[in-house]
Structure 1
Amino acid sequence: MTGNVTRWRDAQVSRRALLAGAGAGVLLAAVVPDWRTGSAFAAQSSVGSSGLPPIAPLPAGAPDRRAFTLEEQRLAPYLATLAPMVNEIVDDDGAALGWMSGGWWRTPAEPFNARIQEHVRTLAWFYAHERPWNPYSGDAALLARLDAAIHHYLRLQHADGSWPEYEPDEHSRAATAFALGYLSKTLEDLRDVDALPQTRTEISGALHRAMSWFLDPGNTGVWQTERIEFVNQPMAGLAGSALALRLDPDPGLQVLLLDRIDVIVANGQSPAGYFYEPLGMDIAYNLNVTLSEMIEILEQVDAPGLVGMVERLADWLGYNLVWEPDGAGFIANTAGSARTPMWFLDATTTEPQQRDLGSRFAPDVAAMRAFYTTIEDRTVQREAWAESAEPVLPQARGQTNPRIVVNIPYGEAYPSRADKDAAIAAMPVLAQNRFTELRRDPQGQHFLFARRPGIYTMAHFGPPSTSLVRSGLSLIWHPESGTFVHGSHNSNTECWGTVLPNGGTDAGASLAVAYFEGDPADGHAVEPEQVAGVHDLGLTWRTTLGNVTGAAVLEDDAITKRLVVTSDASEQVPLLLRTTDRLTWIGGNLESAEAGVTTQAKGLKVRRGRISLEINWSERLSAAIAPVDRHYFADRSRQVHMLRIAHPPQATIRYSIG
């Protein structure tokens, strides 16, 4: 048997352990180790050769919702999941002893994947924290299985201090970064209750080795010279290192930590405003992951440069998250995302949310208040949760997230409704009715944001940072009626673009862009630095192969597109429709536009209240609308429908709102 082994000193059985054995229907023998002398997982029982007794399931009716404080309600589903998850820790006396099997967290679900073990912090929290609703604090069986899980985690560490994720021999930046965080927090919990001293010593040694690898400026697997990729990962490693060094100070490593913080401030954020993921923009990772890691660093280290990063991110988000005037929430710049999709952000999100720790920035960075649930709404949610008669159910496999438990001690700072409303009103799209904002990245990417009195649009041009990005125009929004057109990423069938007969699209290509004062057909070219001052902006784009050339003019309440293609093609338009929208064909043989029906028409009108979006083309063309199985917001009040207009090699299509 690997790991540290201790003998059970007595045949005494604690009341809690007896209850655990009775609840599980298992006869336990000598289940009380000497926690002060070392490792606990050498217990003997009938459940496996290593002798790891199971922990008891919660009694019927537990947990009691009313027993939780409002802030700790998010722990309830983890409490309900704890016994199923902990009891699937491998308890045989083989190489996988302590592996957190069962597919509860991360893939691949293999014993070599160190990231699966991140739930050791979840186990440690429940062991170390007494609460009226927590029967597992001080639980002997839980500690024994936690100890086994820790030792499996530590056995996976390579000699250089790194951990693997996708392959046994991999030296993973992500796995090591997050190990630094979860293991340092586990160490802190074990010290707080003076449990497993020998294991704590081993954790301290593992953290020192990991920091020596991770903070090394010459480690190009973590630190790149010009732009740091996957910024959430090195930020997580810095957060874990900051706590580990508070627990076990090391002056040399502390110097490296402060140096690496300076480096990530300098090289981890695009001049456009986003944190690199991997080297492009990704709203979901920036909001949901990176900000929480930055909060953790600031808890341990004075690093004002990180706050400056958040201020620049908030400014960037002000152009990329667009408020819906009915108050449902924000529509996000999905097409430009280089990694994960984020189509929308509800005005009031449900719990538990990993991203909510970022609300801690709201008091100091006023613009961030727009993106968090208000304290009033969260309180109403939590009070209703406490009064619900529904049982608290275990979480589904694969849906548990150790980050939720990690966030609890750092608190929260949800904005008031008044502060959130003020932050939304101050966002550029609502505070101004005319601007042209062009953000560029040194890699050649252009992000264009154009507000006119009756319309807001955004676009991406230049080389996409990953193959997931979809370029060209991606949004049509109106200040009274909200979003009419919203393009997706990572799909040639759900983007706004020109689709070729082979299914390819200009939106999936690198688009060379040029800007003009007025219509490109008769206007004069302007440099990117001059775009902000242009009243009537024109632009052209061209694919690398030259098979699609496009031009557009942005007017006060319209966008006119002209296309020149080397073959017949289709204009593909992702309409974001509400159930009350009325669609009618213009100049066709049918009036009502029904899903799945192809017709000949000269245009389409989408009427929403007193406002309409009209899409007109110059001649009768074959067109159809098809729904997409994608709804927006918690109330599912919007659904994407794809409009496809088959057109000859040259076409003019005008989008006007009035």
Structure 2
Amino acid sequence: MVLSRRGMLFGTVGLGATLGLGLTLPGGVAAASVTPPAGPFPALPPLPAGAPVRKLFSPLEQRFGPYLAILPGMVNDIEVTDPATLGYMGGGWWRTPSVPTNARVQEHVFTLSWFHANARSWNPYSGNAALLKRLDAAIAHYLNLQHADGSWPEYSVTEQSKAATGFGLGYLAKTLANLRQANALPTRRGQIGTALHQGMTWFLEPANPIWASPIHYANQNTSGLASSTRALKLNPDAAMQAKLASRIAYLAAHGQSPAGFFYEPTGMDINYNFEVMLPELAEIYVLTGDKTVLSMASKFAGWFGYNVVREPDGTGSLTYVGMSARTTVTGYDNVIPDPDRTNLASFFVPEVPALAPFFTSAEDRAATRAAWAAASGPAPGLAKQDTSPRIIAHAPYGESLPSKAAKQAAIAKLPYLASKDFAVQRRDDLTKQAYTFIRRPALYLAAFFGTRPSSEVRGSAGLLWHPAAGAIVQSQQDDTQCWASLLPNGNPDARSNLDATYQVGGRAWDGQRIVPGSAPVVVAYALPDGRIRTTLTVTPNTVTRAVKGTSALTEQVPLVLKPTDTVSFSDGTPIGHGRNSAATATGLTIHRGGKAITIGWGTALAASVTATTVNVLSTGGRRIHVLRVPHGGTLSTVITLP
């Protein structure tokens, strides 16, 4: 038997198996395996001394500087000696596992193709023959990883990866566009076109399990739709276009919660929703003006405004990170320099101004770019794994950042700033999730109850903010840093599914938006086994957690403290920023900006405050410090805000 290159790759790499074991190998592209180019493969020469020269880059293309700095290293790490893995983009520059059978590692073929195709005064590699030769090998390896059904693998050889296929289609489509621009590799261009068609056939098939409802990891589905949109602009296909339109409509109906967030996997995730999903939707919008994705963005804006809370000093916003289902993003600076993964999503802002608060203003971005250009020395390169082809793949589209004035006008309309008194729930009955948002004159509180969508989510109250002092409490995705009652073994009630009942002014509340006025909002919830029962009461200026347990408990409150705060226990013991403190006390007081916020528990108990390493925002020194108050099992903790 003659073993093909593809057979060698899939039969030996990462499997610990041979053909003699009866292994069934996934197929190649639609027609046949792709033949890699023949050598030699000369190395890409290094950059000239002093390059990349910052001042040569246009503002919108500055983000290419750090990628140019690492281009020789990335290109020269491509495998060119082993026939079984020829073209593998080694070196660990992008994605893990960094192995030849992970198709996502190859996504930087776009990066290489862009530098080959685009002549710039700062780009010495446009038209470079060595770059093209190794790019050709990398593309061939990429295409040979495709299964016969059109999908690509990621974590295992036989995997039909939604992410690898969805994102990969886009990078290959953009690579094809670059090769056409440069009139390079005509045979390979045809093979890419075949692979794109086969990949879309798999991805857009309604019977494919990736479209099960509700859609899990909706960002990955969206990536495939954006990628298909781009591919069909290059190679139009009426039948495929109809499938694409059908899947976009399906995504809107089954990939976005009635609450407004995008399912990750069935809950909300700050990072994936805003930094990945929204820009992918925006690519569809930029290319087509599709009204369905515009409506999805508008619905998301209505949700996001409750969950990203601005600091009064204007330095940035804190997120309700405790209910993020996958990743940890505690806050966003008001001004974010390049590279900014969200840039492409700014194209929604003109039609959806409610998104403007979450983007850097055009004036501020211009200032950061001017500072970058004026900085001394060449543009620094990126560290391995700290790269992403998305950063530069989105760059050619440009941006539509809001002006400072437009951003400020939109900020004033954020729910918790436009009103001083409301209570509302955003529910998802399919997944049994209830997100509760309560604004009173002296505070804003966000809380989550119901079925946790992932092990990362922490339920109960999770974010407390004061209109003048800013964030006071921010629950993290961690047992030791969430707002909770701890059992003797250290487990927090917030790590359980907490079913709740709701009342306003003594009457049952169905979660519809109301104005409580003088009436308290009361949420009662308990662990499923009843070991901890809690009543959360929110008045115009207080938040009370009344806890009853069947054993001793510890109240845990993750405080957001600033270096300029003056904090002390009720007995006078100071609580230093970044330090651990302890006292026997009835409470503590935080003095910030002329305001005094008190946390009291009514009886003298041994309490502690522990400084963590979690810093929020890049300025202001906000750090999470965890208050813990052990008690016999029954305690009321009252936070009073001025």
Decide: shared fold, TM above 0.5. Answer: yes
After TM superposition, give the deviation of residue 427 of structure 1 in Å: 0.5
* CA offsets 1:417-444 (integer angstroms, 9 cap, x no match): 1011111111111111101011101211
- Structure 1 Cα separation of the partners of residues 574 and 118 of structure 2: 62
Q: Check the 8 A contact 1:517/1:537 in 2, yes or no.
A: yes
SS of structure 1 residue aligned to 2:45: coil
Q: Does 2:31 correspond to 1:42? A: no
Q: Check the 8 A contact 2:337/2:369 in 1, yes or no.
A: no
- C-alpha distance 39-77 of structure 1, shift in aligned 2 (>3 A): farther
- Structure 1 Cα separation of the partners of residues 289 and 63 of structure 2: 29
- Structure 1 Cα separation of the partners of residues 377 and 583 of structure 2: 50
Aligned residue among 563, 576, 582 for 1:598: 582
* CA offsets 1:467-506 (integer angstroms, 9 cap, x no match): 11000011221101101111111x1001000011111111
After TM superposition, give the deviation of residue 93 of structure 1 in Å: 3.7
Q: Does 2:204 correspond to 1:215? A: yes
Matched with 2:625 is 641
Q: Does 2:348 correspond to 1:364? A: no
- Structure 2 Cα separation of the partners of residues 484 and 299 of structure 1: 39
Aligned residue among 311, 328, 343 for 2:330: 343
Q: Does 2:144 correspond to 1:155? A: yes
Within 5 A, what are the aligned runs for 1:238-317? 238-317=225-304
Identity within the alignment, %: 43
In structure 2, what residue type is equivalent to 1:526? W
- Structure 1 Cα separation of the partners of residues 599 and 467 of structure 2: 18
- Structure 1 Cα separation of the partners of residues 391 and 601 of structure 2: 51
Q: Check the 8 A contact 1:511/1:543 in 2, yes or no.
A: yes
Structure number with the bigger relative contact order (C-alpha 8 A, sep ≥ 6) is: 2
- Structure 1 Cα separation of the partners of residues 516 and 623 of structure 2: 36
After TM superposition, give the deviation of residue 41 of structure 1 in Å: 3.5
Q: Check the 8 A contact 2:423/2:513 in 1, yes or no.
A: no
- Structure 1 Cα separation of the partners of residues 98 and 620 of structure 2: 33
- Structure 1 Cα separation of the partners of residues 308 and 511 of structure 2: 23
Within 5 A, what are the aligned runs for 1:126-525? 126-220=115-209, 222-225=210-213, 227-442=214-429, 443-489=431-477, 491-518=478-505, 523-525=506-508
After TM superposition, give the deviation of residue 514 of structure 1 in Å: 0.4
Unaligned runs of 5+ in 1: 4-37, 44-50
After TM superposition, give the deviation of residue 524 of structure 1 in Å: 3.9
After TM superposition, give the deviation of residue 391 of structure 1 in Å: 2.4
Q: Check the 8 A contact 1:41/1:52 in 2, yes or no.
A: no
Matched with 1:16 is none
In structure 1, what residue type is equivalent to 2:38? A
After TM superposition, give the deviation of residue 636 of structure 1 in Å: 5.1
SS of structure 2 residue aligned to 1:319: coil
Q: Check the 8 A contact 1:88/1:101 in 2, yes or no.
A: yes
After TM superposition, give the deviation of residue 369 of structure 1 in Å: 0.9
- Structure 1 Cα separation of the partners of residues 337 and 286 of structure 2: 26
- Structure 1 Cα separation of the partners of residues 547 and 447 of structure 2: 16
Unaligned runs of 5+ in 2: 7-33
- Structure 1 Cα separation of the partners of residues 275 and 381 of structure 2: 23
In structure 1, what residue type is equivalent to 2:552? D
- Structure 2 Cα separation of the partners of residues 557 and 639 of structure 1: 24
Matched with 1:26 is none
- Structure 1 Cα separation of the partners of residues 503 and 581 of structure 2: 39
Q: Does 2:523 correspond to 1:558? A: no
Aligned residue among 603, 621, 627 for 1:619: 603
After TM superposition, give the deviation of residue 530 of structure 1 in Å: 7.4
Q: Check the 8 A contact 1:280/1:337 in 2, yes or no.
A: yes
Within 5 A, what are the aligned runs for 1:22-171? 41-43=37-39, 51-171=40-160
- Structure 1 Cα separation of the partners of residues 491 and 436 of structure 2: 23
- Structure 2 Cα separation of the partners of residues 389 and 215 of structure 1: 49
Q: Check the 8 A contact 2:562/2:620 in 1, yes or no.
A: no
- C-alpha distance 143-367 of structure 1, shift in aligned 2 (>3 A): same
- C-alpha distance 409-610 of structure 1, shift in aligned 2 (>3 A): same
SS of structure 2 residue aligned to 1:474: strand
Q: Check the 8 A contact 1:548/1:566 in 2, yes or no.
A: yes
In structure 2, what residue type is equivalent to 1:485? V
Q: Check the 8 A contact 1:438/1:532 in 2, yes or no.
A: no
* CA offsets 1:574-616 (integer angstroms, 9 cap, x no match): 0100001111111x3x532353333211111111121111011
In structure 2, what residue type is equivalent to 1:448? T
Give the TM-score, by structure 2 length: 0.93
SS of structure 1 residue aligned to 2:305: helix
* CA offsets 1:290-337 (integer angstroms, 9 cap, x no match): 121112212333420110111111111111111100001111010111
RMSD of Structure 2 on Structure 1 (CA): 1.5
In structure 1, what residue type is equivalent to 2:131? L
Q: Check the 8 A contact 1:39/1:196 in 2, yes or no.
A: no
In structure 1, what residue type is equivalent to 2:357? A
Aligned residue among 556, 563, 588 for 1:572: 556
Give the TM-score, by structure 1 length: 0.90
Q: Check the 8 A contact 1:324/1:330 in 2, yes or no.
A: yes
After TM superposition, give the deviation of residue 536 of structure 1 in Å: 1.9
After TM superposition, give the deviation of residue 401 of structure 1 in Å: 0.6
